[in-house]
Chain A
Amino acid sequence: MESSDNAEQGGSEQSDSQRRQQLDRLDREEAFYQFVNNLSEEDYRLMRDNHLLGTPGELTEEELSNRLQQIKDGPEQPHNEGSGSEEASNGDTLLDWLNTVRQTGNTTRSGHRGNQSWRAVSRTNPSSGDFRFSLEINVNRNIAEQQTQTEAERLEGDQVSPDAAVSEAEPPMETAEPTVPPRRGQIRARSPSPEQRRTRARTARSRLPVNLDQLDGLPQVHNGLPSHSHEPVPEAQVEGSSRTRLHVLSRQSNIQAEAQESVEAAEAPAAPQQGDAPSGEAGASGRRPPTIMLDLQVRRVRPGEYRERDSIANRTRSRSQTSNNTFLYETERGGFRRTFSRSERAGVRTYVSTIRIPIRRISDAGLGEATSLALQSMIRQIMTGFGELSYFMDSDSDSSDSNRGSNPSADAADTPGNPGTASASVVAEAPVTSAGGSSEVGASETRTEEREGSAVPPQARESRPRPRAPISLEETASLPFLRLAHFFLLNDEDDDQPRGLTKEQIDNLSMRNFGESDAFKTCSVCITEYAEGNKLRKLPCSHEYHVHCIDRWLSENSTCPICRRAVLVSANRESVV
Chain B
Amino acid sequence: MQRISRLKRELQLLNTEPPPGIHCSFSEENLENIQAQIIGGSGTPFEGGVFNLEIKVPDRYPFEPPQVRFLTPIYHPNIDSAGRICLDALKLPPKGAWRPSLNISTVLSSIQLLMAEPNPDDPLMADISSEFKYSRAVYLEKARKWTEKIRHTEEAVCVLQGEGEEQQKGPDEERCGKTSRKREALSAQENLEQPKRSCS
Contact of A549 among B9, B25, B100 (CB under 8 A): B100
Residues A56 and B97 in contact in the complex (CB < 8 Å), given A3-B25, A3-B35, A19-B28:
no
Instruction: Scan residues 278-304 of chain A and give those whose CB is less than 8 A from a CB of chain B.
Output: 303-304
Residues A7 and B4 in contact in the complex (CB < 8 Å), given A559-B99, A561-B101, A564-B99:
no
**Contact between B25 and A498 (Cβ–Cβ < 8 Å)?**
no
Q: Does A6 count as interface, using CB distance less than 8 angstroms?
A: yes
Cα-based distance from A268 to B14 in the complex (angstroms)? 63
Residues A58 and B26 in contact in the complex (CB < 8 Å), given A304-B94, A527-B9, A564-B97:
no
Cα-based distance from A123 to B169 in the complex (angstroms)? 53
**Contact between A8 and B28 (Cβ–Cβ < 8 Å)?**
yes
Q: Does A88 count as interface, using CB distance less than 8 angstroms?
A: no
Query: Interface size (A, Cβ < 8 Å)?
Result: 43
Contact of A527 among B15, B60, B94, B103 (CB under 8 A): B103
Residues A25 and B93 in contact in the complex (CB < 8 Å), given A3-B172, A11-B29, A553-B100:
no
**Contact between B1 and A57 (Cβ–Cβ < 8 Å)?**
yes
Query: Interface size (B, Cβ < 8 Å)?
Result: 32
**Contact between A6 and B100 (Cβ–Cβ < 8 Å)?**
no
Cα-based distance from A7 to B27 in the complex (angstroms)? 6
A304 / chain B contacts, CB cutoff of 8 Å? 94
Residues A3 and B28 in contact in the complex (CB < 8 Å), given A527-B6, A553-B63:
no
Q: Does A218 count as interface, using CB distance less than 8 angstroms?
A: no
Instruction: Scan residues 1-41 of chain B and give those whose CB is less than 8 A from a CB of chain A.
Output: 1-2, 4-6, 9-10, 15, 23, 25-30, 35
Q: Does B87 count as interface, using CB distance less than 8 angstroms?
A: no
Q: Does B195 count as interface, using CB distance less than 8 angstroms?
A: no
Residues A3 and B27 in contact in the complex (CB < 8 Å), given A26-B5, A56-B2, A561-B100:
yes
Q: Which residue of A lies closest to B59 (CB)?
A: A400
Q: Does B171 count as interface, using CB distance less than 8 angstroms?
A: yes
Q: Does B74 count as interface, using CB distance less than 8 angstroms?
A: no
Instruction: Scan residues 73-119 of chain A and give those whose CB is less than 8 A from a CB of chain B.
Output: none
**Contact between B92 and A58 (Cβ–Cβ < 8 Å)?**
no
A-B residue pair count with CB separations less than 8 angstroms: 98
Residues of B within 8 A of A (CB): 1-2, 4-6, 9-10, 15, 23, 25-30, 35, 59-60, 62-63, 92-94, 97, 99-101, 103, 159, 171-172, 200
A-B contacts, 16 of them at CB < 8 A, read A2-B25, A4-B25, A7-B28, A7-B30, A15-B27, A19-B29, A55-B1, A400-B59, A525-B101, A527-B6, A527-B9, A549-B2, A552-B63, A557-B93, A561-B100, A562-B101
Q: Does A363 count as interface, using CB distance less than 8 angstroms?
A: no
Q: Does A43 count as interface, using CB distance less than 8 angstroms?
A: no
Q: Does A1 count as interface, using CB distance less than 8 angstroms?
A: yes
B62 / chain A contacts, CB cutoff of 8 Å? 525-526
**Contact between A57 and B2 (Cβ–Cβ < 8 Å)?**
yes
**Contact between A15 and B6 (Cβ–Cβ < 8 Å)?**
no
The minimal Cβ–Cβ distance linking B159 to chain A, given in whole angstroms, is 7
**Contact between B6 and A526 (Cβ–Cβ < 8 Å)?**
yes
B4 / chain A contacts, CB cutoff of 8 Å? 22, 25, 57
Cα-based distance from A122 to B39 in the complex (angstroms)? 59
B10 / chain A contacts, CB cutoff of 8 Å? 527
Q: Does A18 count as interface, using CB distance less than 8 angstroms?
A: yes
Contact of A18 among B1, B28, B92 (CB under 8 A): B28
